[in-house]
Structure 1
Amino acid sequence: MSDFTNTDVQSQLAPSRIGQATVVEQSRAIAEVQAAIVVAQQCPRNIAAAIAEMRQVCGQETLAKKAFFRFPRGGTNVSGPSIHLARELARCWGNAQYGINELRRDDDAGESEMQAWAWDVEKNTRVSATFISPHKRDKRGGAEKLVDLREIYEQNSNVGARRVRESIFAVLPDWFIEEAKEICQATMSGKSSGKPLERRVADAVQAFQGFGVTVDQLESKLDRPSGKWTEKDLGELLVIHGSIKTGEVTVEQEFPSKKVTAAELTAGPEKSDG
C-alpha cells in the first residue's frame, strides 16, 4: 500500500522555493488589508456627504457623457450604467475597494482565468467573480484569435471592466445608484442647463447630422416626431451618439438602411389621376 499522502501532493504542487520578494509582497498585502479595516472603522463614511458629492459629480457633463454604455448583442442593443459611473460612485461612497486580477494565463489554451471583485470595507461586504476570458475578439466573420500580448491585455481589461462594474454595483445601495443615473440622464439631456426643450432637440438633431443621420431616421428610431420628444428621448439619443463616437456601435447598426423589396424595384412610377 502506498504511503503517498495529501501532504505529498501539496508539496509537489507548491513552489519549490519562495523568493524574498514574494514573502515581502504577501506580508504587505496582509498589512494593507488590516490597515484598510482599521481606517474604515475609525473614519466611517458620512452618508450625507457621500450623497452631496454624488449629486455634484453626476451634474457634471464630463461624467454624464460617459455614464452609460450601449453595444449590439444578438440583434438587439444592450445598454446600462458604465464602469466610469461605477468607479465614481465607489469613490463618492467611500471606504470601498475594487479591482481585477489575472489569476492564470494559459497561452496554449488561449485563455486567462480572471477575478473581479469589490469590497465595502466598512460593512465588510465583498463580492467577487472568477471567470475565463478567451484570447479572442468577436468579429462578423467569426471569432478572431489574439496572439499579440497588448491585444490580450486589452481584451482581458475590457472583459474584466464589465465584471468589476457589476461587482461595484453589488456592494453599493440601489437607491444611491438609481439617483445617480437619474441625475446623469438629466445632465446629458441638458435639462439642468436651463435651455428650452426645443433648443436641446435642435442641438441633438444637429449633432447627429455630423454622422449623416437625418431627422426622419431619428424620429423613426424614437417612433415619434421631434416635436413630441421628451427628456428621456433626448437622453437615449445622447447615449447612442456617445456610443457611436466611441465606436461601441456603428451608425448602420443603430440606423439601418430601409430595405427595398423586389416588388418596389419592379413597380413602375405611380400614375396621377389627372
Structure 2
Amino acid sequence: MDGEIITQDGEVLEPGAVAALDSGTVAAMSRAEITAQVETARRYPRSVTRASKNINSLATLDDQAAQECIYALPRGGRPIRGPSIRLAEIVAQQWGNNRVATRVIEVDRREKVIVAEAVFHDLETNAAVKATVRRRISDRQGRLLNDDMIVVTGNAASSIARRNAILAGVPKGIWRRAYEAAEGVVKGDVKTLAERRAGSIKAFGTWGVKPEQIFAALGVVGEDEITLEHIPTLIGMFQAIKNGEETVESLFINRAAQAGKAFDKVSDPLNDGDTQAGPQVAAGKTEAANPDHGETGDTAGEGAEAEPDRSNPVPEAASGAADGAAQDKTTIDPSHPDYDRGFRDGEAGTKKCLSEEIKADPARYATWRAGHRDGTAARVREEAEA
C-alpha cells in the first residue's frame, strides 16, 4: 500500500499511525519538560526577600531605568499611571521559577480588531494566569490598517498582555515598592522640576506633540502649573508611546481639544441636530439677533432679511449669546470644570440632564457639550478595545 512505512524491525506502519505517534510523542515531551521544570523549581525554591530586593534595585538602577518602569494613559478624563512592560520583565526575571508565553490568537479584519493572549505559569506554586488584550486595527476614519501596522499593533497587544499576565501572577506586594521607588526617582525634587518638565515637553515635540496638547492632557493651563506630581505622568506617557503600548493619536489627538483647535459657532448650541457652522459675519457688518421676534438687523444696510430661527428652545440663552458676541469661532477650554463634567457624563453614558444655570449660558453649554462628545467617544473606544 502506498504511504506505508517499514521500521528497522520490519514493522509496517500506516501513515495515520505515524501522525498519531508523532502527536503523542510531542505531547509526552511537552509534559516531561514541564514536569522537569516544576521539579527543579521545587528543589530550588525562590527567596521572596531576595527577589523583592533585586526588583527594587534594578528598577532604580539609574534615571533611565526608572523612567522605563512607568507608563501612563488617559482614563476617566485624565491620565493615570501604572507599571510598564519593562518593570514586568524585571519582575518575571527576578521572581524566577516561572514560564511566560505570548501569542496573537486572532486577527479579525471584519471587526477590525486583533487579539493577543499571554500566560504566566508559576512553576513553584503551579498557579497560572492568562491575560487577553484586544486592540483596534483601524485608523480614525475606520479604515483597516496595512499589514505592517497590523503586525506592529499585534506586537503592542502582545506586550500589554504579557505585562498584565506577569503582574497578575506575581503578588503586588513583591513589586509595589519598586514601582513607588521608580516614581520617586522620576519625580525628582524642586531643584530639578523646571529642567524635567522642559525636557519632557521637548521630548514630546519630536513626535509633533504641541505644548498645548500636553497641557490639555494634564488638565493644566500652562507650563508653570506642571508640578512634581505631573512629572511621572509625563514620563509615563512618553514611555507608553516609546514601548508601543499607546500612540500619539490615542494619548493626544483623540483627547480633549487639540492645540489651537477652534469649534465652529453654531446657530443653536442647544440643538443636537445643528452641527454646521453658522453664517459668517461679512466684512464691515455686525450681526445682532432678536430671538423674541426672529429678526436680524444689518448696520451696513436695510432691507436685508433672514429666516427667523424658531428652533431655539431657550430664547433667553440665544439673546445672552448675541450681546457682545462678535466672534466666528468659540474656543473650548478643556480644563474648564464644565468640560470635565461633560466628559465624565459622556464616559459614564449619562443623558443630558443639566442644571438650568448651564442651559441658560450658551458658552458653558458648548463647553459641557464638547466634553460630553469627547467622553462618549472615549467610552466607545474603550468598550471596543475591552
TM-score (norm 2): 0.51
What is the DSSP-based 3-state SS (H/G/I as helix, E as strand, rest coil) of the residue aligned with 1:80?
Answer: strand
Which residue of structure 1 lines up, in the alignment, with residue 239 of structure 2? 242
What is the DSSP-based 3-state SS (H/G/I as helix, E as strand, rest coil) of the residue aligned with 2:327?
Answer: helix
| Equivalent residue letter for 1:128 | K
Q: Is the 8 A contact 1:208 1:241 kept in 2?
A: no
The CA RMSD measured in Å over matched residues stands at 4.0
Residue 182 (structure 1) aligned with residue 180 (structure 2)? yes
What are the residue-to-residue correspondences of 1:39-54 with 2, within 5 Å? 39-54=40-55
Which residue of structure 2 lines up, in the alignment, with residue 29 of structure 1? 30
Moved over 6 A (4+): 73-76, 104-113
1:78-101 deviation line (CA, Å, top 9, x unaligned): 653222221211111111221124
Which residue of structure 2 lines up, in the alignment, with residue 67 of structure 1? 69
Residue 137 (structure 1) aligned with residue 199 (structure 2)? no
State how far apart, in whole Å, the 1-side matches of 2:23 and 2:109 are: 24
Q: Is the 8 A contact 1:201 1:234 kept in 2?
A: no
Q: Is the 8 A contact 1:201 1:226 kept in 2?
A: no
Bigger drift between 21-30 and 211-220 goes to 211-220
Q: Is the 8 A contact 2:41 2:97 kept in 1?
A: yes
Q: Is the 8 A contact 2:196 2:231 kept in 1?
A: no
Which residue of structure 2 lines up, in the alignment, with residue 158 of structure 1? 156
* Structure 1 unmatched runs, 5+: 1-14, 268-274
Instruction: Give the paired residue count.
Output: 244
State how far apart, in whole Å, the 1-side matches of 2:140 and 2:213 are: 28
Bigger drift between 103-112 and 173-182 goes to 103-112
What is the DSSP-based 3-state SS (H/G/I as helix, E as strand, rest coil) of the residue aligned with 1:84?
Answer: helix
Which residue of structure 2 lines up, in the alignment, with residue 265 of structure 1? 327
What are the residue-to-residue correspondences of 1:70-85 with 2, within 5 Å? 70-71=72-73, 79-85=81-87
TM-score (norm 1): 0.69
What are the residue-to-residue correspondences of 1:105-254 with 2, within 5 Å? 115-129=117-131, 137-144=137-144, 148=147, 152-189=150-187, 191=188, 196-209=189-202, 211=205, 213-214=210-211, 218=215, 221-223=218-220, 230-243=227-240, 248-250=247-249, 252=253
| Equivalent residue letter for 1:248 | T
| Equivalent residue letter for 2:327 | L
Q: 1:120 to 1:220 in 2, by over 3 A?
A: closer
Q: Is the 8 A contact 1:70 1:243 kept in 2?
A: yes
Q: Is the 8 A contact 2:85 2:160 kept in 1?
A: yes
Cα deviation, residue 56, structure 1: 0.8
What is the DSSP-based 3-state SS (H/G/I as helix, E as strand, rest coil) of the residue aligned with 2:82?
Answer: strand
Q: 1:264 to 1:138 in 2, by over 3 A?
A: farther
Match for 1:89 among 88, 91, 94? 91
Q: 1:205 to 1:114 in 2, by over 3 A?
A: closer
State how far apart, in whole Å, the 2-side matches of 1:219 and 1:114 are: 32
What is the DSSP-based 3-state SS (H/G/I as helix, E as strand, rest coil) of the residue aligned with 1:231?
Answer: coil
Cα deviation, residue 169, structure 1: 1.5
Q: Is the 8 A contact 2:79 2:217 kept in 1?
A: no
Larger CA Rg, structure 1 vs 2: 2
State how far apart, in whole Å, the 1-side matches of 2:262 and 2:110 are: 48
Instruction: Determine which structure has greater relative contact order: mean sequence separation of CA pairs < 8 Å that are 6+ residues apart, divided by chain length.
Output: 1
Which residue of structure 2 lines up, in the alignment, with residue 270 of structure 1? none
Cα deviation, residue 127, structure 1: 1.3
Q: Is the 8 A contact 1:118 1:128 kept in 2?
A: yes
Q: Is the 8 A contact 2:116 2:161 kept in 1?
A: no
1:29-85 deviation line (CA, Å, top 9, x unaligned): 212101111111111111111111111111033332222334467976565322222
Bigger drift between 217-226 and 155-164 goes to 217-226
Q: Is the 8 A contact 1:72 1:249 kept in 2?
A: no
